[in-house]
Structure 1
Amino acid sequence: MTEHLQAIIDSVRDHDSGELADYIDVLKHADPDKLALAMCTTDGHLYAVGDADYEFSIQSISKPFVYALALDMYGPEEVHAHVGVEPSGEAFNKLSLDDDGRPANPLINAGAITVNQLIGGPDIPVEQRSEKLRDYFSRLAGRELTVDERVLDSELDAADRNKAFAHMLREAGTISDDAHDAVASYIAQCAVLVTVKDLAVMAATLAAGGKQPVTGERVVSAEAARLAQAVMVSSGMYDASGQWMVNVGIPAKSGVAGGLIGTLPGQLGIASLSPRLNKQGNSVRGVKIFRELSSSMGLNMLSSNFFVAPGIRRIERRDDADIVELQGMINFTNAEKILRGLTKNRVYTKTSALYRRDSPNLSSGNTRT
């Protein structure tokens, strides 16, 4: 598994198109060659390659997680009175308000500022709201996370557009907090430091219906996790979301520090890092990585053969041999669980039929190995 993930990032390493996020000074001077990939199953098995321990700011990847928290705190009806769930069809830093004065969805900046203001209510101090979110992200990741003060200061210095959004949201009655406080709170949310390992586990928490796969803690409800992933499908890659679902078929969210997450509901959380961005603000190499993952490992959730079926149906001993009966479509996720199940039961078998890169869906019905 690790070898396959390493081969994927090696295949994109020489792609150096795209630009760093030059409107934020710290990100402008980031190492453009950082490259990492991690994958976490919903039962807590983590695989990581490349610069997997390198910390970078979470940026807009924070948005679906904060949206899920707000849903649990106030319920969908109250949250959706403040923010919509439709794709804007525009860049993340455009102001899109519907006829009721609501931002189009919680994943564009205007929507994320609005949702941020719901956490703790309008009267909570910036520092207290920021600490609530830092602690929440830490629970999602399963370790204590910190805020990068350099990123926070750098983004505040370049926050004129977001401050303009906040003033317009106040004028529309969508938020009631001081505009500059609202932006400071939102930027603190984006400045939390993570690794791709953290993000893969956080994504796996959404994929697992809100249950953290390593610690076992239920961090958000299954309903909140479902709604967050639904919005990721339609809006997670901004104005490239339609093309993303056509080519990749994985609910996703990007960040301008070069991070990118994806979720396979009930199965996996995935995260990559590569700081160079395309014109939509998505990681160039990250997009290539996810396209290769989706294609080579059968992860497109819209494919007709994408489903979870039982893997190991039965193991029995016959004539000094272990007979393993498999059931269902043996795609990547099932193959990974099957191999771990065989190891757990101390059954070792040589087979080339479980997983082949050029044919991720290899067998249906019952197969004996």
Structure 2
Amino acid sequence: MKSPIPDYLDEILDSVRSDDAGERADYIPELASADPDRLGAAFATLDGEIYCAGDADSAFSIQSISKPFAYALALTDRGISAVLDKVDVEPSGEAFNEISLDDEGRPLNPMINAGAITTHSLVGPEGCSAEERLERLTAGLSAFAGRQLSVDERVYGSELNDAHRNLAIAHMLRSYDILAEDPGVVVEGYTRQCSLMVTVHDLAVMAATLANQGVNPVTGERVVPASVIRQVLSVMSTCGMYDAAGDWTTQVGIPAKSGVAGGIIGALPGQLGIATFSPRLDKHGNSVRGVSLFERFSSDMGMHLMEVPAAARSVLRDHAPSGTETVRIFDLQGSIRFAGAERVVREVVGAEITENRVALDLTAVHSLDDVAGRMLLEVARRLSMEGKEVFLIDPDTVIPDPDPGTDGQLTVVSRGDELH
């Protein structure tokens, strides 16, 4: 049986594919020539499962999505207090390339260019060279992605040729002693940082590493400390989408960061990482179709951070038949949301089910959100379409509408002993 999650991603991509609103980032020649119809999305779970749809494996430049990861490295290398001395954490409410400084000359936050240029200068140990800093940054972002990343020299050259505003910002920062070295050298390094090439698959893993308290769920490597992740996700929540941050927080409610190449990442703490890609941008510099995708993900799957479930752990136990048993039983337990339901789906999909009868036992489930219920019903529907007789043991009616469709057979029972 095939998992329904890739099908869901395909369906959602199709729902936004016809939207051709927005424009490519024409102020960077390499981005202005990007294929505007490219579209991809990926989910990465905290135990390393990756679900991709659309154009998920073609490379594009990371651009401003590098900012939270560089911030995480700077916090790790220099400490939170030292970084806060140079970069504040207040939302600016302004465009990404505005010169937003406080009274002491500090950039307002690390997600706008002024803050990101400063943050770049703080990666690596104090006194390191520009080359050592770039090596540290590339290695760090590669650790977040779980594979070696590299700079696209064409993108780098294209951006650097028109980096006049960033150079002006850097010179302003140097005048306040926020930057302690040659502004031109820092901007060159920052531009290389933004020119690292990634895929939607990479970004989903990077976002999942943020959601997993700094541990890459694919490689198992701890990239940065958990205390750093809390700081990064907090700033992403309030500043990651620039002057659209308020709308994003209320409508989507997932800590996120966008880039002008068309990528967006979202990190839902304790659940999963999300990434999308579509090059056409809105007036804020965020991907038009990417924003629509995240709005759907949040709405469909109850991902808004303010929708807090009862604290519990979901568990699945697989009863393989023995003796006279003629039914395969999957026991579910606890409070189940998307991440828990995805694990259930994966284990059922991966199980070798030779029995003609299958039961999903929800007796010990005390909380089940809408998306988890729909996912479990879809599993039941697909099992029944494969010729299985499916039983839903739901004595407390945690799934209010148990009909998974008309393509198969589902029986709702209240006690497991009715199955033998």
* Same structural fold, with TM-score higher than 0.5 when normalized by the shorter chain: yes
Kindly report which structure 2 residues correspond to 1:131-146, keeping only aligned pairs within 5 A, or say none: 131-146=135-150
Q: Is the Cα–Cα contact under 8 Å of residues 25 and 31 in structure 2 kept in the other structure? A: yes
Q: Which amino acid is 1:359 matched to?
A: D
In structure 2, what is the Cα distance between the partners aligned to 1:239 and 1:308?
36
Q: Report SS of the residue matched to 2:330.
A: strand
Q: Is the Cα–Cα contact under 8 Å of residues 301 and 338 in structure 2 kept in the other structure? A: yes
Kindly report which structure 2 residues correspond to 1:260-275, keeping only aligned pairs within 5 A, or say none: 260-275=264-279
Q: Is the Cα–Cα contact under 8 Å of residues 204 and 273 in structure 2 kept in the other structure? A: yes
TM-score, normalization by structure 1: 0.92
Cα deviation, residue 325, structure 1: 2.8
Aligned to 2:187: 183
Please tell me whether Structure 1 or Structure 2 has the larger radius of gyration of its CA atoms.
Answer: 2
In structure 2, what is the Cα distance between the partners aligned to 1:315 and 1:104?
56
In structure 1, what is the Cα distance between the partners aligned to 2:37 and 2:130?
34
Cα deviation, residue 242, structure 1: 1.0
| Gap regions ≥5 residues in structure 2 | 374-393, 400-413
Aligned to 1:231: 235
Identity across the alignment (%): 51
In structure 2, what is the Cα distance between the partners aligned to 1:189 and 1:365?
52
Kindly report which structure 2 residues correspond to 1:1-369, keeping only aligned pairs within 5 A, or say none: 1-120=5-124, 123-305=127-309, 309-312=313-316, 315=319, 319-343=325-349, 346=352, 349=358, 359-360=370-371, 362=373
Distance 1:69 1:314, change over 3 A: same
Distance 1:31 1:330, change over 3 A: same
Q: Is the Cα–Cα contact under 8 Å of residues 201 and 213 in structure 1 kept in the other structure? A: yes
Alpha-carbon displacement from aligned partner over 1:257-277 (angstroms, at most 9, x marks no partner):
000000111110110000000
Cα deviation, residue 315, structure 1: 4.5
User: How many equivalent pairs are there?
Assistant: 366
Give the aligned CA root-mean-square deviation in angstroms: 2.5
Distance 1:340 1:243, change over 3 A: same
Q: Report SS of the residue matched to 2:96.
A: coil
Distance 1:97 1:290, change over 3 A: same
Q: Is the Cα–Cα contact under 8 Å of residues 308 and 334 in structure 1 kept in the other structure? A: no
Q: Is the Cα–Cα contact under 8 Å of residues 315 and 332 in structure 2 kept in the other structure? A: yes
Q: Larger relative CO (CA 8 A, sep 6+): 1 or 2? A: 1
In structure 2, what is the Cα distance between the partners aligned to 1:283 and 1:307?
34
Which has the larger displacement, 325-334 or 82-91? Answer: 325-334
Q: Report SS of the residue matched to 1:328.
A: strand
Distance 1:225 1:23, change over 3 A: same
Q: Is the Cα–Cα contact under 8 Å of residues 293 and 299 in structure 1 kept in the other structure? A: yes
Q: Is the Cα–Cα contact under 8 Å of residues 298 and 361 in structure 1 kept in the other structure? A: no
Q: Which amino acid is 2:18 matched to?
A: D
Cα deviation, residue 332, structure 1: 2.0
Q: Is the Cα–Cα contact under 8 Å of residues 329 and 365 in structure 1 kept in the other structure? A: no
In structure 2, what is the Cα distance between the partners aligned to 1:128 and 1:215?
24
In structure 2, what is the Cα distance between the partners aligned to 1:311 and 1:17?
43
Alpha-carbon displacement from aligned partner over 1:113-135 (angstroms, at most 9, x marks no partner):
00100113575433332222112
Q: Is the Cα–Cα contact under 8 Å of residues 205 and 269 in structure 1 kept in the other structure? A: yes
Cα deviation, residue 288, structure 1: 0.3
In structure 2, what is the Cα distance between the partners aligned to 1:104 and 1:194?
28
